[in-house]
Amino acid sequence: MIFKNLSELSDSDLNQLLSRGKGLADVGASVDAILENVKTNGDAAILEYAKQFDKAELETLLVTPAETEEAIASLDSNLLKHLRQAAENIRRFHAAQLPKEIWYIEDTPGIVLGQKTIPLEKVGCYVPGGRASYPSTVLMTALPAKVAGVSEVIVCTPSRADGTVHPLTLAACKIAGVDKIFKTGGAQAIAGMAYGTESIPQVDKIVGPGNVFVTYAKMKVRDYAEIDFPAGPSEVLIIADDFANPKMTAADILAQAEHDPNSVSVLVTPSEAFAKAVMEEVKNQAESAERKEIIDASLENSAILVTKNMNECISFSNKFGPEHLQIMVNPEIEDSVLNQIQNAGSVFVGNYAPVPAGDYASGTNHVLPTSGYVRMYSGLNTAHFLKSFTIQRISKEGLSEIKDAVIDLAETEGLFEHAEAIRKRFEE
């Protein structure tokens, strides 16, 4: 883990922090081959990949209702209660994001302009799986789609070696109102949703996080289905001062680090004493961590940086563009810091707003752009599942107000029939 004053950070170390998670070209050839195979051979190719990658001998890809009900019956009722609690918070927050279905303005008499917003018809949610279960990702991807009014929401998630999907994943699908679930993961799942197969319907949009193979595949199929955004290894940047708690801060760094060996955690602080205290806590807490091997690898990508002042913390954060940003500072300057943030996927303000709260149950979405893509993409939200078209209602009187401008501009561009389409409406 890098521990330095920001001003002393070498160019190579700075480049490592800023260019994290962008090695997509390394997997290009293998993913391209998978995409082409699925496009050509459909279900047969996906079933073969299930055997190759998941060690699963599958007869069909579709999860049956009986499998889902059996899975739910096997789960602890308290766990189901907490899944439903998280789902309700997520549903409520994303419902608040819904725009007006239709609106109009009349700035010029006789010219009424408007916009109508409608949901996409079919959406595919990618949910990582196999050895682990990510019910929270089901809720974060499927629920906003359902809130938006999407007609058909499907989930693709890899099965375990015995051909079953983790019960928690299936329970979350039921709670979120998912219409169909398919036992496939990786680039082949993205191909199935983008191109369509005998079993998997072609969708309008694919959302959800995944590894570098999934991310590359999503970016390659955009001629067939839109995607949410590129999303790679998880990351957090923490802006903190002496008002923060070193134990809490270290715990937040380790919480991010346990995601993946390629995850990145960065602390920027104007306090050298606080930075040293956090560094000591990170070392101590990492020793007893359950996922110590993953954490140790992740910490190799991470850094604790001491700045000259809070403004330098903010400037570095905006340059870094973190997926998750925690602001743990003197409450008197919280709003000042927040108001200067330009690039972040999701922001957590205060000592009691750790990233795991948003990962699971506060209600905001945890599917977020990584690797600096927050400069151009927003985190997953209800708008990702909507599209809109504009409306114009123009009377003769309204058209007369703008006819000279339209005619003049059309003829300037050499589009004379455009101009005639206006003139004809005013001939005797």
* 256 labeled part of a ligand binding site: yes
* 324 labeled part of a ligand binding site: yes
Closest CA to 259 of 289, 229, 238: 289
Cα maximum dimension of the chain: 88
Which of 94, 226, 235, 324 is catalytic? The answer is: 324
For 206, phi then psi, to 5°, come to: -120, 130
The one-letter amino acid code at 160 reads: R
* 392 labeled part of a ligand binding site: no
Q: Which two tokens stand for residue 319?
A: 């340059």
Q: Is 324 a catalytic residue?
A: yes
* 373 labeled part of a ligand binding site: no
* 85 labeled part of a ligand binding site: no
**Complete edge-to-edge strand list for the sheet that includes strand 226-227:** 180-183, 152-157, 122-126, 205-207, 226-227
Q: Is 88 a catalytic residue?
A: no
* 259 labeled part of a ligand binding site: yes
Residue bearing tokens 């401008």: 405
Closest CA to 237 of 272, 264, 271, 273: 264
Q: Which two tokens stand for residue 362?
A: 């506060």
Beta bridge partners of 103: 115
* 49 labeled part of a ligand binding site: no
How far is residue 188's CA from residue 213's CA, in Å, rounded to a whole number? Answer: 9
> Helix (H, G, I), strand (E, B), or coil: what is residue 45?
helix
**CA–CA distances in Å: residue 274 to residues 4, 73, 256, 296, 423:** 13, 48, 19, 21, 73
How far is residue 188's CA from residue 156's CA, in Å, rounded to a whole number? Answer: 10
**CA–CA distances in Å: residue 224 to residues 115, 118, 238, 261, 321:** 26, 20, 38, 32, 29
* 82 labeled part of a ligand binding site: no
Which of 166, 235, 323, 366 is catalytic? The answer is: 323
Binding residues for NAD(+): 126, 188, 211
- Known binding-site residue numbers for Zn(2+): 256, 259, 359, 418
Q: Enumerate the active-site residues.
A: 323-324
Which residue numbers belong to the known binding site? 126, 188, 211, 234, 256, 259, 324, 359, 413, 418
Where is the binding site for substrate, in residues? 234, 256, 259, 324, 359, 413, 418
